Structure 1
Amino acid sequence: MDIATDPAITGLAQLEHAHATLKRAWQSDPFPERELRVAQLDKLARILREHEDEWLAAVSADFGHRSPVETRLAELFPSLEGIRHAKKSLKHWMAPQTRGVSLWFKPARAHVRPQPLGVVGIIVPWNYPIYLAIGPMIAALAAGNRVMLKMSEFTPQTGSLMARLCREMLGDDWVQVINGGAEVAAAFSALPFDHLLFTGSTAVGRHVMRAAAANLTPVTLELGGKSPAIVAPGFDARRAAEAIVVGKLLNAGQTCVAPDYVLVKAGERDALVREIRAAASRMYPTLRDNSDYSSVVNARHYQRLNSWLDEARAAGADIDSINPAGEDLSGSHKLPLTLVTGAPDHCTLMQEEIFGPLLPIIAYAKFDEALAYVNARERPLALYLFDEDPMRIARTERTTVAGGMCVNTTVLHVAQDDLPFGGVGASGMGHYHAHEGFLTFSKLKPVLSMPRFNLLSLTHAPYGKRMDWLLKLMLRKP
Structure 2
Amino acid sequence: MQSLLTTQRQAFLDDGFPSAKTRIDRLDRVKDIHIRYKDKIVEALEADFGSRPRGQSLATDVASIIMEVKETRGKIRQWMKPQRRKTPLMLRLTGGRAELQFQPLGVVGNISPWNFPVELAFSPAIGALAAGNRVMLKPSEATPQCSALIEEMVSSAFDPAEMAVVTGGVEVAQAFSQLPFDHLVFTGGPEIARHVMRAASDNLVPLTLELGGKCPVVVGQSADVKTVADRVISTKTINSGQLCLTPDYIFLPEGKVEAFIEEARKVLASCYDSLVDNPDYTSVINERHWQRLKGYIDDLEERKVRVEVFNPAGESFDDPQKHKLPFIFPVEPDDEALIMQNEIFGPMLSIKTYRSLDKVVEFINDKPRPLALYYFGKDRQEIDALCQRTTSGGVTINDCAQHAACYDLPLAGVGNSGMGGYHGHHGFLQFSHSKAVYHQGLFSLGKFLRPPYTPRKIKIIDSMV
TM-score, normalised to structure 2's length?
A: 0.97
The match for 2:304 among 289, 308, 316 is 316
Alpha-carbon deviation of 1:356? 0.4
Counterpart for residue 168 of structure 1: 156
| Aligned residue in 1 for 2:442 | 452
1:111-147 deviation digits (Å, cap 9, x = unpaired): 1100000010100000000110111000000000000
2:56 pairs with 1:66:
no
CA distance in 2, matches of 1:222, 1:95: 28
Instruction: Report the secondary structure of 2:60's partner residue.
Output: helix
Match of 1:109 in 2: 97
- Residue in 1 that maps onto 2:355: 365
Amino acid paired to 1:226? K
How far apart, in 1, do the equivalents of 2:69 and 2:13 lie? 25
- Is 1:246 the counterpart of 2:229? The answer is no
Q: Determine the C-alpha separation between the residues in 1 that align with 2:420 and 2:133.
A: 18
What count of residue pairs does the alignment treat as equivalent? 461
- List per-residue Cα deviations over 1:139-192 (Å, max 9, x = no partner): 000000000110100111111011011011012111110111111111100000
1:339-365: per-residue Cα shift (whole Å, max 9, x none)?
Answer: 011322111110110000111101112
Task: Give me the whole-angstrom Cα distance separating, in 1, the residues matched to 2:87 and 2:312.
Answer: 67
Counterparts of 1:31-70 in structure 2, within 5 Å, are 31-70=17-56
CA deviations over 1:57-88 (Å, ceiling 9, x no partner): 01110001111111111221221111011101
Partner residue, 1:7: none
Partner SS state of residue 196, structure 1: strand
Q: 1:325 aligns with which of 313, 320, 335?
A: 313
- Closer, same or farther: CA 234–98 of 1 in aligned 2, 3 Å: closer
Quote the Cα distance in structure 2 between the aligned partners of 1:255 and 1:293. Answer: 14
Contact 2:240–2:346 (8 Å) recurs in 1: yes
Match of 2:335?
A: 345
Verify the 8 A CA contact 2:222 2:378 in the aligned structure 1: no
In the TM superposition, structure 1's runs of 4+ consecutive aligned residues that sit over 6 Å from their partners are none
Q: Which residue of 2 aligns with 1:441?
A: 431
**Equivalent position amino acid for 2:298 in 1:** D
Partners in 2 of 1:245 and 1:209 — Cα distance?
Answer: 35
- Report matched runs for 1:211-222 at 5 Å: 211-222=199-210
Q: What is the rounded CA distance, in whole Å, between the counterparts of 1:361 and 1:35 in structure 2?
A: 51
Is residue 305 from structure 1 mapped to residue 298 from structure 2 by the alignment? no
| Counterpart position of 2:370 | 380
Q: Please give the alpha-carbon distance, in whole angstroms, between the structure 2 residues aligned to 1:129 and 1:271.
A: 36
Q: Distance in 2 between matches of 1:267 and 1:319?
A: 17
Distance in 1 between the 2:260 and 2:222 partners? 11
Structure 1: gaps spanning 5 or more residues: 1-14
Q: How does 1:195-274 map to 2 (within 5 A)?
A: 195-274=183-262
Superposed, 1:458-469 pairs within 5 Å as: 458-469=448-459
d(CA) in 1 for partners of 2:455, 2:358: 64
Whole-Å separation in 1 of the counterparts to 2:414 and 2:143 = 27
Deviation at 1:234, TM superposition (A): 3.9
Contact 2:335 2:341 in 1 (8 A): yes
- SS of residue in 2 equivalent to 1:267: coil
Task: Classify the secondary structure of the residue corresponding to 2:421.
Answer: coil
Alignment of 1:118 with 2:102, yes or no, is no
Partner amino acid, structure 1, of 2:356: K
Write the deviation string for residues 24-45 of structure 1: whole angstroms up to 9, x where unpaired: 1111113111100000000000
Give the secondary structure class of the aligned counterpart of 2:256.
helix
Contact 1:56 1:71 in 2 (8 A): yes
Q: CA deviation at 1:313?
A: 1.2
Contact kept in structure 1, 2:27 and 2:69, CA below 8 Å? yes
**Does structure 2 retain, via aligned residues, the 8 Å contact 1:316–1:342?**
no
Q: Which residue is equivalent to 1:296?
A: 284
TM-score (norm 1): 0.94
Bigger CA drift: 120-129 or 429-438? 429-438
Q: Does 1:78 align with 2:64?
A: yes
RMSD: 1.2
State the 1:452 CA deviation.
3.4
Offset of 1:455 from its aligned partner?
4.8
SS of equivalent to 1:405? strand
CA distance in 2, matches of 1:344, 1:143: 47
Q: Percent identity?
A: 40
Task: Answer whether contact 2:222 2:379 (CA < 8 A) is retained.
Answer: no
Distance 2:250 2:442 in 1: 65
Question: Of 1, 8, 11, which aligns to 1:25?
Answer: 11
Distance in 2 separating the partners of 1:76 and 1:413: 19
* Most deviating of 237-246 and 358-367: 358-367
